[in-house]
Structure 1
Amino acid sequence: MPSPMFVSTSSENPQRLTIDFKDDPQGSLGAQLINCDKGEPYEMFSPGFAQIGRLLEGDTVAQKAGVQVGDIIVAVNGSGFRRFAPDYDESKVTNISKNGNGSKENGNSCANDNAVMHMGQGEAYSALLTKIKTVKSGGDPPLVLSLERYTWDARVNSWPRFLEAREGDVPAAMKLLQDHEAWKSKILPIDLTRDGIQEVLRLKAVAEIDVDKTGEHPPTVYVNFAKLLVADGISSDDVIKCFIIFTEMLLARSKDPRFPKTNQFIDLTGLSMSSGFRVELMRRIYEVFEPNYPETLGKMVMFPVSTMLSTTAKTLLSFVNEKTQKKFILSSSLKEVCDELGWDQTEVEQCGGVTEFMHKHESAGAALILE
């Protein structure tokens, strides 16, 4: 039976990854590093000065060790290269190193001194690269890199999004981030035993569609307005909390925690704009999503919406900021919807429509039903 409480899919506690070059002392890491020592505001919460920006293809050290985009180098052979001291609970840090790396029992552990670097702009990054080259040229002991991996909503990854949402205004972005953290501590965990939430999940009135395995198109949070209109015992608060649950789950699947994305699909099948378009619910969802998940929306698609009614819908959605409105797609064309969201139109049609297509691919919601 699933837990009766839904907790956040992100935290400030990192995972730790140790890479030992003993099997290939002169080997290349096989990754492109990002210099996080340029004195830019977005670097503020990065614990280190070098981040994995891209993995090179092939049988590289990074690929073998399980390195991922977004990982941050914090030490070289035990010497710390940190912007600030660790501010997490050490007991909650998970070692994800492969083949025993980082394990004291295996003999590959290289205790880090967690040293904080106080240097001029660019000097810490340069010193880190120099340290790596010096150790590699010596050969013995072999190079050991210590990295930390943070989830999508940890400050190191969320701060640049909040900063972008406030167009680089640091005080405004900081307030937005602090308000978000206060909101999240209040709203989560979510009690799944609430009757209204369970009804939304059973009806699949809020669900997911995640079919793109290439990573080109983000997964989609699906909302069926027709089911919400006829359901009894479901409040707007229940719908919003289910929306939060699916948003959290789908953002956690992002391959790059620095740029988590979801799409949103509003299913208006069988409804008219006058009877089925719940503007107040849309407003409340927006008021939750915009300040708490900034820069995570790929596209928001409403379907089916005729060309004539599209203008009316845009007027009703005038409370949405201009930047977000540019991500809206109101369409009556299934082909356009499938092209935008990365769905196979033939499969959607063979299923009998978008709703049936969702039922075929939705699985996460079923795991939340308490029976």
Structure 2
Amino acid sequence: MTQTLAADIAIIAVKLGLVFFVILTLAAYLVYAERRILAWIQDRKGPNRVGPLGLLQPLADLIKMLAKEDVRPAGADKWLFYLAPAMAAIPAILIFAVIPFGAPLHLLEREIPMVVSDLNVGLLFFMALSSIAVYGVAIGGWASNSKYALLGSIRGLAQLISYELSMGLSLVPVVMLARSFRLTDIVNAQAGGWFILYQPVAFVIFLVSIAAECKRVPFDIPEAEGELVAGFHTEYSGMRFGLFFVGEYINIIVLGGLATTLFLGGWHGPVLPPVAWFSLKVLAFAFFFIWMRGTLPRLRYDQLMHFGWKVLTPLALLNILVTGWWLMLR
């Protein structure tokens, strides 16, 4: 019994370390990839000096951030000011604990699930943590004691709450089809066909909502530098400033992983290993977000709120009714 418990703890520790390393490495190189892809879209070179093809640029950025002075405004709330960047990054990392990234492995006469924690309420766990991430934006703007940062955080709060509703409603049909909140069950339910084929409307609503959750163009209203200097993190410098951006790119990876799990069959796919299929789908979502940033203009604030409340939310509710009617007929 003791040996079994020790083995279970060791397996969880290895999976935690692996997920933590992969997410942080991917987030760092997603910054590099975004700068290179945007440079290609805008017909310029991008980072190409540090290391071969500029591949060591993320390391140079990290050293630069660590070397910068960590400044705190005189009127800022000390502890909340220090807490906000962590609250932007940590919930995103915790969400990945319930995302299955491959089929279970059979090793040493044991079945090892390729997920850190296979919760039976994994989808609700994701919704809870994505709601907590809102506090990072709110606290960062309020604790800075700056009107520009405060306006950015108020915009961010309104945006995240608005699109959180439509995102949650878009997931109801997925639960109705899979009959489970467990993410591994949702992936297994797509063995015969991905949910994007049955729920294209829910997929589009979820995709738009997660773009707004990540505060990506055209939904980067909280960071509108033309109007708010830089948004809710205006007063941050050094590594705390970097943490906000690390949290944003971790969010892209995590929400891309969730979209893959919920609508694109998770690890299912021919020829390639399951983990490879999952990784390719997540990277495709990351490329899509970068592509949007290079091509779309920013929405006005009233357009953003109108689209969230008057278009996406009613459409998501109608989709739930149609899905329920279809399942009842079946």
Q: Which has the higher helix share?
A: 2
Higher relative contact order (CA 8 A, sep 6+): 2
TM-score, scaled to structure 1: 0.25
Specify the structure having the higher radius of gyration (Cα): 1
TM-score, scaled to structure 2: 0.27
Q: Which has the higher strand share?
A: 1
